[in-house]
């Protein structure tokens, strides 16, 4: 059983950043990632809103983040999903598909996954017309007609943001009403219930 000061579960940008700070604080650090390091940023075909890079592919940015983290001394085990945790007591136990680890501290940085609709063409056009972050990718749609699908605050905020960029914004609610669109005033958009 390997012993670590810190085990970070999740190798996205937050987990990698936590790894850098942990190592710089003198802690023996292991990062466990079920996929490849970089998280959802790796899925982006083009990133134009990350400070320090005017334009970079998501895969390249993910590689730079992982490389930096390794360079300072953190160990990254990718393609190693966590299968079991024992968090009670002073020593924490983290089991994966490959090994069992012990640590004084476990940091959860498991990130998020975009909710997919499961419609035809969604996967093929991801990053090439299909976006899961209107604020991140909005400038790519400047002057174009866009469709926002949702029914809560995220859909409302995205619609308001895109209404200042796109020529037309159509909102397709996943319900017959907006669930949590608190404090949002929809102007200059066409709303079509499902």
Query: What pLDDT, in 10s, does the model give residues 89-133?
Result: 999 999 999 999 999 999 999 987 778 888 899 889 888 888 888
Domains of the chain by start residue, with CATH: 2-108 (3.50.50.60), 134-192 (3.50.50.60)
- Residue 53's CB is within 10 A of a number of other CB atoms, namely 13
Distances (CA, A) of 139 to 135, 143, 166, 194: 8, 9, 9, 27
pLDDT digits (tens, 9 = 90+) for 178-192: 666 655 554 444 445
pLDDT digits (tens, 9 = 90+) for 22-68: 999 999 999 999 999 999 888 888 888 899 999 999 999 999 999 99
Interatomic CA distance for residues 31 and 9, integer angstroms: 6
């Amino acid at each position: 059983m390997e012993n670590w000061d810190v085990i970070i579960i999740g190798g996205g940008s937050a987990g990698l950043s936590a790894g850098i700070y942990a190592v710089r604080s003198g802690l023996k650090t292991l990062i466990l990632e079920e996929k490849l390091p970089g998280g959802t940023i790796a899925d982006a075909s083009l990133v134009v809103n990350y400070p320090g890079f005017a334009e970079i592919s998501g895969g390249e940015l993910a590689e730079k983040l992982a490389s930096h983290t390794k360079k300072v001394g953190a160990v990254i085990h990718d393609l190693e999903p966590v299968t079991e945790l024992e968090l009670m007591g002073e020593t924490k136990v983290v089991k994966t598909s490959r090994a069992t680890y012990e640590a004084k501290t476990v940091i959860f940085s498991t990130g998020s996954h975009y909710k997919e609709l499961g419609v035809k063409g969604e996967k093929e056009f991801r990053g090439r017309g299909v976006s899961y972050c209107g604020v991140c990718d909005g400038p790519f749609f400047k002057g174009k007609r866009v469709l926002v699908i949702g029914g809560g605050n995220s859909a409302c905020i995205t619609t308001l943001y895109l209404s200042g960029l796109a020529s037309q914004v159509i909102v397709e609610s996943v319900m017959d009403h907006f669930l949590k669109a608190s404090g949002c005033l929809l102007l200059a958009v066409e709303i079509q219930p499902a």
